[in-house]
Structure formats: C-alpha cells, structure tokens
Amino acid sequence: MKASSRLAAAGVLAGTAVLALSAPALAHVTVQPEGEAAKGGYAVVDFRVPNESDTASTVKLEVSFPMDTPLASAMPEPVPGWTAKVTKAELDKPLELHGQKIDEAISKITWTATGKGVQPGFFQKFPVAMGALPEDADQLVFKAVQTYSDDEVARWIEVQQEGQEEPEKPAPVLTLSDAEDGHGHGSEASEEASGEPSDDASRAAATTNADAADSDSSDTTARVLGVVGIVVGAIGVAYGVLAGRRRTTT
C-alpha cells in the first residue's frame, strides 16, 4: 500500500510539473500554418488565442502585419460569433504581384466578438488565407493585442532576440519553408488565388481519369465474360436435351 501511495504521489507531482512547464507555451497567442507556408506562395494560417483569465472572456483580437515584408492579400475565414475587419496601408515601394503593381498591403486584421467571445478555459482559432509570402525572408513576425471583457489587455508584441530567453509576451512568429518544400494547404491556397490547378490537383485528376479508364475496361471485360457464359450455358442445356432424347429413343 505504501509503495502504491508513493507511486501515486510521484505521478501527481510529475503531472503537475508537466502542466506547469507547458502552461506558458499554451498561454501564448501563436500563429501556425495549416500544412506549410512556403516562400513566394500562399498559405492558410491559424492565429490561436487561448484565454489566460479565470473570470473574463477574450472579446477582441488585433493582429498587426509586418510592413517590412508586406503581404498584398489576407482573407480571414468567417468565425461564428466574431466579425473581422481587414485594414490596409499604402506602401512606399509598390509590390509586383501576378504582373500587377500593388501600392497597398495588409496592415491589420481585427476580430471582435459579437457574443461571449473566448471564455475561460477555452481557446479560439482565427484562420487567414494570405500571400504572396515573401521569398527573401525566413519568418514573419506578427504583433497581437488581446482584449478581455474586463478591459484587461495583453500585448503579444515582444520580438524574440537571438541568443536570449523567450520574452514574457512574445509576438506570434510564422516560419516560412523553402519554396520547393511548399505542399498541402499552401498549394491549395495558391491554386485558389491564381485560378490554375496545382501539381497535386493535376496528379489527382490524372489518377481519377486512369481509375475511370480501368473501370470502363473492367466493365467491358465483365460484359464479354457474361455473354460467353450465357452462350456456353445454352450449349450445355441443348446438349443435355439431345442426350436425353437419344436415351429415350434407344
């Protein structure tokens, strides 16, 4: 019994330690791609907002976009119970996208709760389709401001400095992958934006056509075999009838 009690106590302490270590990471406002975010492409990313308060709900989220690596397009996905407002700003140096010059970029997206918001003990995802992602950057740093129903404000705006410990209120960081490694939702978002099918879509179409051709071939073979079976069966029946008549005559 004593050994069991010690094991149980050790398990509780270990679990508490794990929760204590993981709590700060879970409490941060973060940004994660759905799949990969490839340089020069498009991606769908999720801004994940946990609620740190025990008594108040998160009712507003403001995400500022980097203007040193501007993005020409950002389309938030509708989130039930929230409204989204996209703000743009003029660029000192226009961007070139799909052969067109873009003189403004996304500067901020603001989500405002129309209901109870993110209640204590819960988190909320805010998906955004964005691009074209910069080709000359390894990451994008967004600054987020989280507002609670009791007017408390959490500013996730501190930039991580190389070689230093993580700041108390780190800004969300989106890591960009090399262009040749961009697959998944990034290619799907690029296809939607450009109107042209991605390589994955083309391969899927080719596979579908091949499957359809195989299916047609199988159906034809089955029909031929069925007809042959009927003919063979008819010959067998006729042979049986003739044989019976011969025995009766004899």
Per-residue pLDDT of the chain (250 residues; tens, 9 = 90+): 545 555 445 444 444 444 333 344 457 899 999 999 999 999 999 999 999 999 999 999 999 999 999 999 999 999 999 999 999 999 988 877 777 888 999 999 999 999 999 999 999 999 999 999 999 999 999 999 999 999 999 999 999 888 888 889 999 999 999 987 444 444 445 444 444 444 444 444 444 444 444 444 444 444 534 544 444 444 444 444 334 444 444 4
Residue 233 carries which DSSP code?
Answer: H
**Global confidence as pTM:** 0.64
Q: What is the spatial distance between Cα 115 and Cα 169, in angstroms, rounded to a whole number?
A: 27
Torsion of CA 241, 244, 249, 250, to 10 degrees: 150
Q: What Rg value do the Cα atoms of the chain yield, rounded?
A: 31
Q: What is the spatial distance between Cα 182 and Cα 41, in angstroms, rounded to a whole number?
A: 8
What letter represents residue 111's amino acid? W
Cβ–Cβ < 8 Å for 45, 175: no
